[in-house]
Each structure stands twice: as C-alpha cells, then as structure tokens.
Structure 1
Amino acid sequence: MSLTKYNQKRNFKETKEPHGKVSRSESKLIFVVQKHAASHLHYDFRLEMDGVLKSWAVPKGPSLNPDDKRLAMMVEDHPYSYKDFEGNIPKGNYGAGNVIVWDNGTYEPAEESNLTPEKQLLADLKKGHLRIILKGKKLKGNFSLVKLKGKEDNAWLLIKKEDQHSDKKDVTLKNKSVISRRTLESLEKENNLDAVNKKVSPTKNAVKKNKPIAFIKPMLASLSDKPFDDEDWVFENKFDGYRTIAVCNDHDVELFSRNKISFTSNFKIIAEDLEKIDHNVVLDGEVVVEEKSGRSDFQLLQNYLKTGKGKLKYYVFDILNLDGNDITKLSLLERKELLKMLLEKYKFTNVFYSEHIQEKGINFFDQALKKKSEGIIAKRASGSYAADRRSKDWLKIKISQAEEAIIIGITEPRNSREHFGALLLGQYENSTLKFIGKCGTGFTQTTLKELYEKFSPYFVDESPLDEKPALRDKIQWIKPKFVCQVKFAEWTQDNHLRQPVYLGLRSDKNAKDVVFSRDIVKPEKEIATKKKTPMKKEIQNTDKSEKDYDLKLGKVTLHLTNQNKIYFPDDQITKGEIVNYYNEVSDLILPYLKDRPQSMNRFPNGINGPSFYQKDVDEDKIPDWLKTKKIFSESNNADIDYLICNDKATLLYMANLGCIDINPWNSTIKRIDNPDWVVIDIDPSEDDFKEVVKVALAVKEVMNGFDAPCYCKTSGASGLHVYIPLDGKYDYDTVKIFAEILAHEVHQKLPDSTSLERSIKKRNGKIYIDYLQNRKGQTLAAPYSVRPKPGATVSTPLEWSEVDDKLTPQQFTIKNVLKRFEKKGDLWAPVIGKGIDMKAILKKTQTI
C-alpha cells in the first residue's frame, strides 16, 4: 500500500519513471541521491527499507559539513527500481523536470542492535531519529536524520556527524551523475535538443500540409566603432559577400538579396545544396568566396560571377521561419540552436553554419585582425529578429574600411586610359544625395569597358546632387541607379572617402538604401561608464512647428492637427510634443501594443479638460489603413470594433486624437483569452512612495521564492506595476487566481501597510494590491506611455536595483527619458519573452 500514492501521482503513458512495485536488494541495503530540477532544484535522498525507497526532498542538497543542518521534507515512498532512474519527466506531469543519479551506494545503522539492520532502521524511522553510515561515492560516514517536532509532519533535518569523512567543502559542486557522468545541465540540454529535433523532424505528410512560406526582408546592423566584452552579447564573423535570404518550400529553393532581387541562378549550386532540406524554412546568411587563408573576399565573389572560378559558400547565421512557424520572436540563441540542429541533419557541400562566441568580443576582434578579415558582428543574445529594420541589437565592427556607394557620374579619361577616368560617388543623407568622393583605382581595361557600357543608357545631363561638387573634371552624370563596393583609407573631415578603391558592383543593393553611415553606436558598457551621455535627439520644440501638417510614414500620410495646443498647462507642454515623443519611442513601445485591442483614453483639450474612454471605433469615419478587430463585449452585449495598433502611423494617429496615455489589453487578438503577463498594480491611497517600493520588493521576494522572474515599472502616476511573463500559456481565470494568491502572499508579508479591499474607504489609507487588473478587457498604461499627470510623466521600466527609497514617480518625464532609453535599451523585453511555469508554482503553494 505504501506505493499507492506514488502510482496515483504518475501517468505512466507519459513519464518513463518505473511503475511502483515492491522489490529488495539481495544483500546490503542501498541508498541513492537524485538531483532533480523540477519547479525548484533539489536533491531527493532515498533509503531502502521494507522493499521501497523512503524519500526526502532536500532543497539545498546534502553536506559533509557537520555545521550544516539541511532541511529534508519527507515525501511519498518510491519503488526500489527508482534507484537507477535518470532522464526527463515531461511537462504537465508530477515532478516535471530532469533527474540524474547524483550519488549511490550502500548504508547501514550506525549503532549495533539485537534487531536486524532493516528492522532497527524501521524502528528508528518510527521514532523520528535515524543514525546511519553511508558508503557512497560522494557521501561517506555518519549521518543523522532527525524529525522536527512541532513542525509539519514531514519536516526533518539531514545532518553530517563529525568523523574522518567530514569536510567543509561544498560536496554538491561534484555535479556529475555517478551512473552516466552527465551533469544535470547537459541532460537538460540533451532533452531540449530532443524536443527540438522532434520539432524539426515531422513526418513527410506533415511537411506537405504546411503552407508555402515567403521571403522576409532581413534585419540590418548598426555601425559601432570598436569591440567590447559583454556577457549578454555574442560575436560572429563579418563576411565580405552578398547577404542572402534562402526561402525553401518543399525542396524548391529560391535565393534573394535583401531587396528581393533573385540570386537563384547566380548561386545555383547553393540552391541545389539547400534542396536537401525537407522542411519549409527561411534562412538568413551570406554568400562568399574565400581566399586560401579562409578570408572572404568580395572581389573573388565578383570574379566568380563572371568566370565561375572559385568555391561558393553560404554561411547561415539565422533562421526566421520553420514549417510555417514564425520564430523571429525567439531569442537569438534559441534561433541559432534551432538552426544548428537543422543544418546538422544534412550533408551539405556549400552550406555552413556560422559559428559564434559569447562575451569575449575584444579577443574575437583581435583574432579577426590577425586573419585580416572584414570585421565582426556583435549581436544581443536575447534579442528577437527585427525584420526589415536596422537595429542596435546587431552591431557591425569593421576592420577594413569598406562602404557601399552610389555611382552618380564619371570623369573624362586621361592619358592612355579609355572609357572613363574615375567614378563619382554619393550616399543619401536624410533623403538628400551627397557627394562623398571620386574613385579612380581598382579597374582593369575590361572592367572600364563593361562599366561604361552599363552606364551609357543612364547618362543624364543634369547633376543628381543638390550641391555642385568642387571638381575641375569634365563630368558625365549618371542616373543614381548603380551601387558599388569600395574600400578606402579613412573618412576626411569634409565627409569624403580618402583613397577609395573600386571592388565591384552590388546588384543586391537598392540605391535608396545606401545611406551615410558615420553615426556610430557606442557599446552599452562604454556608454554606462561615461558621466554624461549626449542625448540622441531632443524633443522637437513645437513652439516653432506648424499648427497643422502632414507627416508621411511609408505609404501612409498622417494629417496632424492643433500641434500647438497646450496639453499640460503648468509645464506648457503641447500636443505636438506628445506626438513627437511617441514618434521617438515608437520602436520601444510598439512590441507591447502589437495585436492588442486599445482602450483609448482621450484628452482632446489637455489634462485639465474633460476626458473619455473610447473602445468602439466607427469604421466608416476612420482612415481605411487603420486595423480594427471585432470583439464581443459582455457589458455591451455586442461586438465592439477595437483599434489595433501595430505600427508607428497608428500610434501617432492615436496621439493626435488626444490619447496622452496608451492602454492595451493584456492579451492579443491571436490569443484573446490568454494574457501575456500577470499584473500586480500597486496603488497607494496616500503619498508615501517608500511604502509602495516596499510592496514592490515584497512581490519580487515572493517570486524569488518561486524561482520565477518579475519586472517593475513606474505607473507614471502614483504607483508601481509589477509584471510576470506568461507567454500566453494560461487563460484569464487561471491567471486571476494566481494573481490573487500572489497578492495574499504579499499582504501576509506586509499586513500593516497593504490591503486587498477594492473600496477606498475600507482600505484605511493602506496600499491597494490590485490583482483584478488580470481580468479580460482590463487595461493598464503600456511601458513607455506618457501619463496625463503634471510634468508629462512616463511609465518607465526599471532595473530592480533602482527600486529603492530614492525612487519617485515624478522623476521620469518626456523631457528626460529619451536619454535613459538610449542608454539602457528595452528593459521590458523579457516580459514578452519566455513565460513562467505557473502550474508548477501553484502546486508548490499547495504543498509547501
């Protein structure tokens, strides 16, 4: 009967744990210690008695130091056959997690008795005091297990007794299995790989059912001036070739440039190699030809396109879609792990996985210097893939000076040279074409002729430049269509290229995308060490701006009105300044608005005028480019057309309507019944913000006890918001129950200063821990949202080290936060990342 509870708790169709059956050792009694990464890491200490394994969960693990008294919680008996169990207990099962056999051996009673050893041990167990000698590989000598009186029925202490095996060193640092020699971490990685392999190894029929996937415009890197070390970043080789997106659909492969120019015929050998992939995938990488030393060389690639000589290589560094699943929201390391396992399934000839190193960017750059390579790329390890956007999560750090340039003209040839003398080069700066120098070297006689013949149909009489360059040469202007690659010595003070050398034409580049790129991103750690950080861009002074004007955003023209209207009278902040602020922070705030219904809080006459909430928009009265979604409202007993804010144009449209703050739902229209986070809204009745801080820290303390993350931001008003990521795994009812349990835990820690009463009168001035914000349809101000409060305060994500007595709700405003955001980046990103295991935490709250 002792194994009944064990069997009841397990679904043996899903878990590989052994069935509960009584069994015994042939001679000496055995013990085993299993290291178990369930919702909390712990060690399971098991002693054979009466045909089963009597078991205790030891949170901190055993110790050989007699001064350590380890808490051991007695749990249900386990079968004898459990002694050899290692592996994974699948999610959704009792004790889900990975298990290794950390130690094993035999044991016996420490004192002689007239009884048999086993009967003596059973008698001692009943008395609540076991004295034993362990003969294991890691645990040796005398130990005691003592039941705590007056505590829970299952609370014991595991204590090492002083003897020749006593040791103050932490024995748990010996972390390998005594059976397989694996660590728990390596086992976890193996199980993760198995799970991913299943994901990338569907049946042939499953692949056929997938819809074809399409080209995705690639993410672009910003320029940085020097390498850096940072544990949150990884570093890759910078290739000197053609950026190439591979779209594989049912063994049909198409290769594209970043601007969707077809590379399939030019790089046919790579397309044929990728046809081995029996999945629908979108890959991102670079096609190169390498020198004998292994350094990629753009001129060799140019020669290959003309002569076919050389070996094409496709270095793949990212995966964007797998069998119809958009994986751009996964972290970089998760994507690269998936990519590596996918590529390892096939024997390629011309396709290679692009390796990376973590943290050590300076050393990696030094190695690139020795190899005389193009440079390195730094990428934020936790970053998602920002398609069709230049991001500061990817930084290019160049060794050789190379640029893309637009050919805007040619000079007359001199002496024995034929066709033309030099190329005139330009780049766009704020949509204006600027002259950046002329290039007269790097050509062969054949190249001169070929280029001249290409240019001839595009000769024009007028200069494409707004300003005439100071040149004495006779010039033939060319329509700004052709893009070339040049290397050069340096930039001059007047922003011209010094000693440029022609390397070849770039058929993959659109001239409009070739922009002046000397705005260099500083490494985050370097920025953090400086006392003063120059502001990226101050908010535009709207006193000098137009009252009404049109703003073009992509294909949308937005008509902005009454930009000089005062919205914050005491601070003389205008509507235009609010619109400009949201224009500046759109990249930061939009990920937390995307696909979420908006409850618009409108202040058409500023914060001192009347305001109203608008949920239902009239589709006949709004621009047709705006996105809406019908959602049933129980309170209205009808469908409501909610506005969906997925782009900058919609965000600024809302700001122009008088939406000072932005209030999205906790869930998206893709999973409308499953919120992406838990919200704890800490709302003070009185102006004592230090007490608010204490409550937020209490929430963090509770979550730390569950080994689960949480994140804090100012509300922008008088309180703080603490969010816990869920990744949409649970419905609103479950989430509200969890939030209520969490609120009660915090209230028990701070009963004198907090309240769970909704009624302000009944709170008696205490701080309200609002867990009801976790109901469907409830909204809170988004991170980076302005609030309709004096000073134009901003709901600002915080580092937990900032949540202290110095924190005030008024310290972050639209006048100062842009500097902060530039320095710290998006602190809120983990909130829409990997979610917590709420079910495991709920189980823990019920059992401990």
Structure 2
Amino acid sequence: MWQPMLPTRVDQVKENTDWIYEIKYDGFRCGLEWTETEIHLWSRNNHNLTKQFPEIISWCQQNQKYIKELLPLFLDGELVILRTAYHSVFSQVQQRSRMKNMKKIKMISEDRPATYIGFDVINYKGKSVKSKPLTERKQLLHNIFRTFPSASNLLAQRVAEIRYFDSLKEIEQVIFLHQSEGMVAKRKQSNYMPGKRTDVWLKVKNYRNIQGVIVGWDAENDYFHTAVFENQQCTALGKVKNGIGTKDQKTLTTFIRQKGSKQGSSKWKIDPSICVEINCLDANNQEIREPNFGKFRFDLDPEECTDKRVRLQLAQIPEKLELTKPEKLLFSNHTKQDLIIYFRHVAPFLLPRLKDKHLTVIRYPDGIIEESFYQKHPSRHEPDFIETDGKYILCNNLESLLWFANHGAIEYHIPFHKKDTDYPDELVFDLDPPSLDEFPLAVLAAKLIRELLTYKGFESFVKTSGKTGLQVHAPLDEPMNFEQTREFMHAIAHVLVTKYPDSFTTERMIKNRGKRLYLDYVQHAPKKTIIAPYSTRATKGATVATPLFWEELNDELDPRIFTIDTIPQRLNEKGCPFLIGGCTNTE
C-alpha cells in the first residue's frame, strides 16, 4: 500500500540555498506504479484511478520501450488537467475521477486530456530509493524522463517531469502570474518518509483575501454562513468554519444568539452587520474553496462587501497598480473593472504573445462610443515598470498589461517580429469578409489555407479576429525574411483566388470586392500589426480575438459568442489551442 510523504502547511518560507521550490498543482496526489506487465495510478488514499485516466496509461504503454531497463518504477506526482504549465483546473480532475462510463471517459480523455506530473521517485529498477537524498532522487527522476522523446511543451505531454526552482523569488512570480495553488519547498538532503507529515517539505498556499458579512450560523456543525451584496440584494457567498479562535467564536456565537433569530433546531439567522475577512483559494457558485477565517473587519460597512469587490480580490491585482474609476462603462454592459479582471485572467496567455514586441494600443478613455487614440510611443506618464526600447512601448509584465487596461486600452496590436530582429516569427493570413453574413467564407478560406500550409510542412492555428473575420497563424521554425514570406503568402492567396474567384479576392479597394472575402497577405510586412490573441475589441459586446480548435470551425460558428464574459471559463474547460499546440509558450 502506497503512503505518500506529506508537507506541512506554513504561511511563508524564506530563500535558502539548501532548499528547492516546486509548483503545488491543484490536482490529485497520485502514485504511478509501472512494471513490465502492469501500469496503475493510485490516489493518496489508495483508490485505483487507472480506468479514469486512460490517456496516461496509453502514453506509458506507447513509451515503455524507452525505459524497459529501468522498470519496475514507482513515481510520486500529481494528476492534473492543465490550464497553463503552472495552473491546474481542480474541478475537472475531480469530475473525471468520479466518472464510471468508459465511453464518456474515453471521449473526454481525448478532448481534454490529463497530465501526470512526476516530482519524486520511490522505486527505481525495482529497488526502493526512499533513503536517498532528494537531490539524488531528482537525478534518477531526470534519468527516466530524458529517455522519452521530447514534446513541444508541458501541455502536450501526458506524463512529464516537474520543473523545480532554485530561486524563491522566481517561483513566487510564476505563482502570482498563473494564479497557481501555491508551492512546496523541499530540503535538498531530505529522505522520502512514507506517510509522514514533515518539516523538510513545506507547502505555502496562494490564498486570496475576500470580505463578506455574517448572515447565519449552524450550531450543529459550527459553520458560519456569509454573504455579499449584489445589486443592493444580499446573496450567499459561502460557509466558513476553520481559523476562528475560541474567544472570537464564542463572542460571535453569543452575539448571534442575542441579535439573531433561530431557524429550526440548530440554525440561526442574523441581519448583515458583521464584516469578516476570509482567506481562500476561490469562491463561486455560493461556495468558498478552502475557507479560513481571517479577521473581523470593523472598518467596513456591510454594503461595502459586494460581489464586485470579491471578484476583484479573487483576481489578485498587483499591489503597485492603483485602479481608477473602476465603475466607468467602457462597453455597452461592461465596466473598466470587468476589463481589468478579464486581462488578469488571460495574462498568462496574452503576455507571451506581447513579449519583446513593439506594442500599439488603441485607448478609449471614456468608452468605445467616445473618442479613441493610438499609442505606440512612450510618454512621460508611464510608470517605471513599463518597458520601452527608447522609441516604442513594450508590454512584458502583468503590471504593464493592467496599467494599460486601467487607462482605457482596449485593443492590443503587435507586429510579426520581435524588437531586436527584422525576421518575422510567424505567418498570419487575415481573412476579412465584407460582413458577418459572409463569415462562412472565412471558415472556408481558413480550412483551405490550412491544407496548403500542411502540404508545405507548416503547422497552423486559427483565431477569430474579434470582429467578423478569422486569422490563420503559422509559426516559422526556419528563418524567413519578409520578402520571402510575402512571396509565399501571395502564392497561397493566388491559389485560392484562382480556384474560387467568386468567393475570394486580393483587391485592396473595398468598393471593388463586392461580397467576396479579402485575403490580406499585404499586411504581413515590417512595422505592420495584427490584433493579439485574447485582445479585446472595441465592440458593444466586448468581443475577443479568440484562438480556436480547428474542429470548432464550421459555418454555424458565431464569433460574437467569444467575449470577456465567456473566455475565462472557456480556457478552464477547453484549454488554449495556441498553448496546447505550441504556438504560444508560457513555460
């Protein structure tokens, strides 16, 4: 029976060269038992999860030939379904673990595959290595994984080796950007101690601090019920029990008994008057994830504990960023705060696309119905954390992205090359139909371009423009200059226009295009720009330039469904096509 070594939870750790630091993934702690004849996944409570995660087993079977001489093995790790390389979606792992229908499991394992991230080795070549120090076990773990064929990125792997950090500051930055669950600090010389909770492994959770009001108490289980105000109405936030001291609990329950009203045999209800701070990992659907009582907030009025305030606190906005006029309406039904929270959630996907590229933003200080202006040069008003190359602004960090959003930047346009080179890093075909009614022409063009690119050896990705069209991206593995890319893209456009003259055109004059789709390859040139993936657009519905999976592309697709409201949940449920495919790298 497997007994995993357990970390002790602490509030913080200090930088120490005798320790290493790992991301704490929000998944299922899991042992991987791998012999020549059998492969099993065991939960920390020794439940067999093998049938629920067939993609892991299949990967092991396909790659067993590379490590046959190292078997039997037993690895310690985490079963995850990744949003980014450093963020796992726990609800999806949990949902999968409870599935029984094998047909459904197979379908989901193909659509949204899991990854087993190994962080320790317990048995190696059939022998226990628990008594060896962590540094030696890490080397053995690396010996295992370096024998496998390399994958483009962590999200493309079904079984992978965890990355560890020597720098505490570096991992803290990664955790904050990706909103990871936390970290585990491990002493380099520590042995593996099965079943023990030790002080040589320390975990630090990435808790958020939110505020709510006490509205009830259940005397039977000692849970306090909290709420927030939404549109001047009190709505449930969730329950909290742990973390409150004996003295504070007694004071609070006495107050509720005196001022509240009893509901049934053990439940009490009280009017919202007591504000509290709660530490948690998340809060949604009237449930708080891992809630711990923080402190009373006598400085707050109950009406200040709002749903909007909670959403902003959960987003973890950097402290150095001061938000101004968050309630200002920028779109028809979305405020500046909505925009900032959206960019906070998609930052791990957007920032790698903006990195070291001259940025052009379109700013709408008073909303999309008022005047706008372009900005690509630095002024005297930007803070120090916004980088420049002297002439052009860059957006290389989270603070910069949110600062621009706070100053009304809605659209983010980038060139096809980085600031220190004249060579493009990708091809991008801009497919521009005359209106949304002709969007199926963009779907047809994208599919045809994909076929031609595949024939020529290019991998391609597709995204909506955020308005009426599509854009096909093809990363360049081999260097090409703009003259070469222009010639190549012109040839592809010529093939499409020749074969479908009534559907496609390269005519630049709008009045001469008629109902045909414009194949824009001319825009792919030095100093020209394209809308960045996950950038918002200045539309009433707050639409987003959204990466798609190719199988999503059909004539019924409506690009208007991709908005700042729907994209964060889409990324949790489906993942990012550009990230999974290697078109964007967040590692």
Which TM-score band (shorter chain)? 0.5 to 0.7
The alignment status of 1:333 with 2:158, answered yes or no, reads: no
- Aligned residue number for residue 295 of structure 1: 128
Secondary structure, counterpart of 1:568 in structure 2? coil
Secondary structure, counterpart of 2:572 in structure 1? helix
Bigger-Rg structure (1/2) = 1
Secondary structure, counterpart of 1:565 in structure 2? coil
Measured against aligned partners, the alpha-carbon deviations of 1:388-424 in whole angstroms (never above 9, x if no partner) come to: 335799999xx9777677999xxxxxxxxxxxxxxxx
Letter in 2 for 1:814: I
Letter in 2 for 1:568: F
Alignment of 1:57-206 (within 5 A): none
Alignment of 1:241-252 (within 5 A): none
Letter in 2 for 1:564: E
Letter in 2 for 1:430: R
- Aligned residue number for residue 134 of structure 1: none
- Aligned residue number for residue 502 of structure 2: 752
Structure 1: where are the runs of 5+ without partners? 1-213, 241-283, 306-310, 320-330, 337-356, 362-376, 381-386, 409-424, 433-464, 472-514, 520-531, 631-640, 835-848
Any conservation in 2 of the 1:286–1:316 contact (CA below 8 Å)?
Answer: no
Any conservation in 1 of the 2:536–2:545 contact (CA below 8 Å)?
Answer: yes
Structure 2: where are the runs of 5+ without partners? 1-16, 29-48, 61-72, 78-116, 144-148, 164-169, 184-192, 211-241, 249-278, 290-304
TM-score, normalised via structure 1 length: 0.40
- Aligned residue number for residue 695 of structure 1: 445
CA gap of 1:728–1:231, structure 2 versus 1, over 3 A, is farther
Alignment of 1:804-815 (within 5 A): 804-815=554-565
- Aligned residue number for residue 25 of structure 1: none
Alpha-carbon shift at residue 758 of structure 1 (Å): 0.9
TM-score, normalised via structure 2 length: 0.56
Cα distance in 2 for partners of 1:378, 1:744 equals 46
Any conservation in 1 of the 2:179–2:206 contact (CA below 8 Å)?
Answer: no
Secondary structure, counterpart of 1:315 in structure 2? helix
- Aligned residue number for residue 578 of structure 1: 339
Letter in 2 for 1:621: H
- Aligned residue number for residue 571 of structure 2: 821
Cα distance in 2 for partners of 1:223, 1:737 equals 47
Cα distance in 2 for partners of 1:313, 1:643 equals 45
Cα distance in 2 for partners of 1:812, 1:793 equals 6
- Aligned residue number for residue 735 of structure 1: 485
Secondary structure, counterpart of 2:547 in structure 1? coil
Measured against aligned partners, the alpha-carbon deviations of 1:541-579 in whole angstroms (never above 9, x if no partner) come to: 998449x99x9866x60111111111112xx21111001
- Aligned residue number for residue 561 of structure 1: 324
Alpha-carbon shift at residue 798 of structure 1 (Å): 1.0
- Aligned residue number for residue 588 of structure 1: 349
Letter in 2 for 1:333: A
Cα distance in 1 for partners of 2:447, 2:555 equals 11
Secondary structure, counterpart of 2:577 in structure 1? coil
Alpha-carbon shift at residue 691 of structure 1 (Å): 1.8
Alpha-carbon shift at residue 815 of structure 1 (Å): 1.4
Cα distance in 2 for partners of 1:758, 1:406 equals 66
The alignment status of 1:794 with 2:544, answered yes or no, reads: yes
Alpha-carbon shift at residue 220 of structure 1 (Å): 2.2
Cα distance in 2 for partners of 1:314, 1:406 equals 15
CA gap of 1:767–1:318, structure 2 versus 1, over 3 A, is farther
Alignment of 1:21-420 (within 5 A): 220-225=23-28, 226=49, 228-230=53-55, 238-239=75-76, 294-297=127-130, 300=131, 313-315=137-139, 317=141, 333=151, 388=171, 389=174
Which one has a larger percent helix, Structure 1 or Structure 2? 2
Secondary structure, counterpart of 2:459 in structure 1? coil
Alignment of 1:286-685 (within 5 A): 294-297=127-130, 300=131, 313-315=137-139, 317=141, 333=151, 388=171, 389=174, 429-430=207-208, 467-468=244-245, 544-545=308-309, 557-569=320-332, 572-618=333-379, 620-630=380-390, 641-670=391-420, 672-685=421-434
Alpha-carbon shift at residue 625 of structure 1 (Å): 1.8
Letter in 2 for 1:315: Q
Measured against aligned partners, the alpha-carbon deviations of 1:662-705 in whole angstroms (never above 9, x if no partner) come to: 212221124x3111110100011133211221111221222233
Cα distance in 1 for partners of 2:525, 2:18 equals 38
CA gap of 1:559–1:429, structure 2 versus 1, over 3 A, is closer
Any conservation in 2 of the 1:285–1:315 contact (CA below 8 Å)?
Answer: no
Cα distance in 1 for partners of 2:376, 2:157 equals 46
Measured against aligned partners, the alpha-carbon deviations of 1:641-678 in whole angstroms (never above 9, x if no partner) come to: 222111111110111121112212221124x3111110
Cα distance in 1 for partners of 2:491, 2:21 equals 44
Cα distance in 1 for partners of 2:206, 2:582 equals 37
Q: How many residues align?
A: 392
Letter in 1 for 2:443: V
Secondary structure, counterpart of 1:617 in structure 2? coil
CA gap of 1:659–1:831, structure 2 versus 1, over 3 A, is farther
Secondary structure, counterpart of 1:558 in structure 2? coil
The alignment status of 1:763 with 2:513, answered yes or no, reads: yes
CA gap of 1:318–1:669, structure 2 versus 1, over 3 A, is farther
Cα distance in 2 for partners of 1:800, 1:779 equals 24
Any conservation in 2 of the 1:221–1:392 contact (CA below 8 Å)?
Answer: no
Cα distance in 1 for partners of 2:493, 2:429 equals 8
Letter in 2 for 1:468: G
Secondary structure, counterpart of 1:642 in structure 2? coil
- Aligned residue number for residue 34 of structure 1: none
Any conservation in 2 of the 1:596–1:668 contact (CA below 8 Å)?
Answer: yes
Any conservation in 2 of the 1:702–1:746 contact (CA below 8 Å)?
Answer: no
Letter in 1 for 2:385: W
Alignment of 1:716-735 (within 5 A): 716-727=466-477, 729-735=479-485
CA gap of 1:733–1:427, structure 2 versus 1, over 3 A, is closer
Any conservation in 2 of the 1:690–1:804 contact (CA below 8 Å)?
Answer: yes
Alpha-carbon shift at residue 224 of structure 1 (Å): 2.2
CA gap of 1:393–1:332, structure 2 versus 1, over 3 A, is farther
Cα distance in 1 for partners of 2:307, 2:122 equals 56
Any conservation in 2 of the 1:378–1:394 contact (CA below 8 Å)?
Answer: no
Secondary structure, counterpart of 1:644 in structure 2? coil
Alpha-carbon shift at residue 792 of structure 1 (Å): 0.8
Alpha-carbon shift at residue 294 of structure 1 (Å): 2.6
Secondary structure, counterpart of 1:663 in structure 2? strand
Cα distance in 1 for partners of 2:281, 2:388 equals 38
Secondary structure, counterpart of 2:498 in structure 1? helix
Measured against aligned partners, the alpha-carbon deviations of 1:481-507 in whole angstroms (never above 9, x if no partner) come to: xxxxxxxxxxxxxxxxxxxxxxxxxxx
Over the matched positions of the two proteins, sequence identity in percent amounts to 28
Task: Output the aligned Cα RMSD.
Answer: 5.0
Letter in 2 for 1:294: K
Cα distance in 1 for partners of 2:546, 2:464 equals 5
- Aligned residue number for residue 779 of structure 1: 529
Letter in 2 for 1:725: P
Cα distance in 1 for partners of 2:401, 2:153 equals 30
Secondary structure, counterpart of 1:628 in structure 2? coil
Alpha-carbon shift at residue 733 of structure 1 (Å): 2.1
Cα distance in 2 for partners of 1:735, 1:557 equals 42
- Aligned residue number for residue 458 of structure 2: 708
Cα distance in 2 for partners of 1:716, 1:470 equals 55
Measured against aligned partners, the alpha-carbon deviations of 1:232-273 in whole angstroms (never above 9, x if no partner) come to: 996795459xxxxxxxxxxxxxxxxxxxxxxxxxxxxxxxxx
Letter in 2 for 1:679: V
Alpha-carbon shift at residue 616 of structure 1 (Å): 0.9
> Which structure carries more relative contact order (alpha carbon 8 Å, separation 6+)?
2
Any conservation in 1 of the 2:119–2:162 contact (CA below 8 Å)?
Answer: no
Secondary structure, counterpart of 1:828 in structure 2? helix
CA gap of 1:725–1:295, structure 2 versus 1, over 3 A, is same
CA gap of 1:615–1:666, structure 2 versus 1, over 3 A, is same
Secondary structure, counterpart of 1:737 in structure 2? helix
